[in-house]
């Protein structure tokens, strides 16, 4: 039986024997020829003219494509920017809060440093043996005017020590614990400070009151005192160093028949703004009242006593004369 054998089919079809499509070969050859011709003929040749024609014809289509694509591209850019701006805004807000916190802390540190500097200047000016303390609490009731400081017996603080600020005297330690102490303010009604009018030297006793008003008592009506006068510590009694500022006279009145003025004093220091204070731990001899100061105060007391006795005697004589006149009138009847 004869066998049939089929002819082997060409695997390349219309391609070349190497398997490369003829169309690719043709396009490659044409491209090379056009490239070579374009180089040889220069800018004025036929090929450059044809290319210019095609570019001119394609320009409207390119413009339209650019216009159509621009909004889409712009929208993508906007969305990207919005996303970036949102993240940036969040970062900026966080950074701003941190900067605000830092500024607040720095302001507080600066204020504290300024206060401590002023306290140091006060200590040097009056040559005070003292220690600085921070105010940690204030009295919340209406029966007492006190503050609490963060220094106590372990820091050398004892009951009776005077306390001042950069502007003036504020009170006296009334209770000292191991690590804290309570200061009775000069506005407390149980507080008393030996004081004098700086301009005239008139000496008196500065007394607090329930409503917080300061009054300088025992200033005689024959002594000089006027609104605006400065009131300072006199040093009598050995509690407060002499010459420390306390307040300013705001009102002076005289009641009929009284030997003394009613003098109202406004303290120099506002308790509400207190943060740092200076506790005077000891007094030197030149910070206490001198013998002349004591003699002046005694003379003032003697004058007051004499005036009081004279007034009493005058009152007694007037009463006796009135009684005698009344008796004489009765006898005549």
Q: What is the tens place of the pLDDT at every residue in 151-199?
A: 999 999 999 999 999 888 999 999 999 999 999 999 999 999 999 999 9
CATH number for the segment(s) 127-309: 2.40.10.340
Smallest CA-to-CA distance from 162 within 126, 121, 202 is with 126
pTM of the model: 0.61
Residue 330 or residue 210, greater confidence: 210
pLDDT at 10: 46
Measure the CA–CA gap between 185 and 298, rounded to whole angstroms. Answer: 27
**DSSP SS3 for 29:** helix
DSSP structure class, residue 16: -
pLDDT tens per residue, range 219-231: 999 999 999 999 9
State the burial class of residue 171 (Cβ atoms within 10 Å of its Cβ: 0-12, 13-18, 19+).
buried
Report whether pLDDT(75) > 60.
no
Q: Model confidence at 286, in pLDDT bands (50, 70, 90)?
A: confident
Contact 279, 157 (CB under 8 A): yes
**Would you give the DSSP letter of residue 6?**
P
Examine the pLDDT at 252 and tell me if it is beyond 80: yes
For residue 220, CA distances in Å to 182, 203, 208, 247, 311 come to 34, 9, 19, 19, 14
Phi, psi (degrees; rounded to nearest 5) at 151: -125, 145
Share of the chain above pLDDT 70, in %: 66
Report the candidate in 155, 156, 165, 205 with the shortest Cα–Cα distance to residue 185.
165
**Residue 261 — pLDDT band, cuts 50, 70, 90?**
very high
Give buried/exposed letters for 70-85 (b at 16+ CB in 10 A, else e): eeeeeeeeeeeeeeee
State the pLDDT confidence band at 37, using cuts at 50, 70 and 90: low
pLDDT for residue 45: 60
* Confidence class for position 1, pLDDT limits 50, 70, 90: very low
């Amino acid at each position: 039986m004869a066998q049939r054998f089929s002819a082997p089919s060409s695997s390349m079809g219309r391609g070349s024997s190497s398997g490369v499509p003829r169309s690719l070969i043709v396009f490659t050859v044409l491209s090379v020829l056009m490239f070579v011709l374009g180089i040889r003929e220069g800018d004025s040749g036929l090929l450059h003219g044809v290319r210019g024609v095609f570019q001119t014809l394609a320009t409207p289509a390119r413009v339209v494509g650019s216009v159509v694509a621009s909004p889409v591209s712009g929208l993508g850019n906007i969305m990207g920017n919005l996303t970036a701006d949102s993240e940036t805004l969040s970062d900026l807000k966080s950074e701003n809060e941190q900067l605000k916190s830092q500024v607040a802390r720095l302001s507080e540190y600066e204020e504290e440093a300024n206060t401590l500097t002023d306290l140091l200047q006060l200590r040097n000016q009056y040559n005070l043996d003292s220690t600085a303390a921070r105010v940690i609490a204030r009295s919340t009731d209406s029966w007492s005017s006190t503050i609490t400081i963060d220094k106590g017996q372990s820091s050398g603080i004892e009951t009776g020590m005077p306390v001042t600020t950069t502007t003036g005297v504020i009170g006296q330690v009334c209770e000292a614990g191991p690590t804290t102490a309570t200061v009775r303010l000069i506005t407390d009604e149980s507080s008393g400070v030996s004081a004098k009018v700086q301009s005239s030297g008139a000496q008196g006793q500065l007394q607090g009151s329930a409503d917080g008003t300061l009054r300088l008592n025992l200033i005689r009506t024959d002594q000089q005192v006027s609104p605006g006068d400065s009131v300072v510590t006199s040093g009598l009694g050995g509690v407060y160093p002499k010459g420390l500022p306390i307040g300013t006279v705001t009102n002076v009145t005289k009641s009929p028949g009284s030997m003394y003025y009613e003098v109202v004093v406004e303290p120099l220091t506002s308790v509400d703004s207190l943060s740092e204070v200076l506790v005077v731990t000891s007094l030197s001899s030149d910070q206490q009242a001198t013998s002349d100061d004591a003699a002046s105060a005694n003379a003032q007391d003697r004058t007051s006593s004499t005036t009081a006795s004279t007034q009493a005697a005058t009152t007694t004589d007037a009463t006796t004369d009135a009684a005698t006149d009344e008796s004489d009138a009765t006898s005549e009847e």
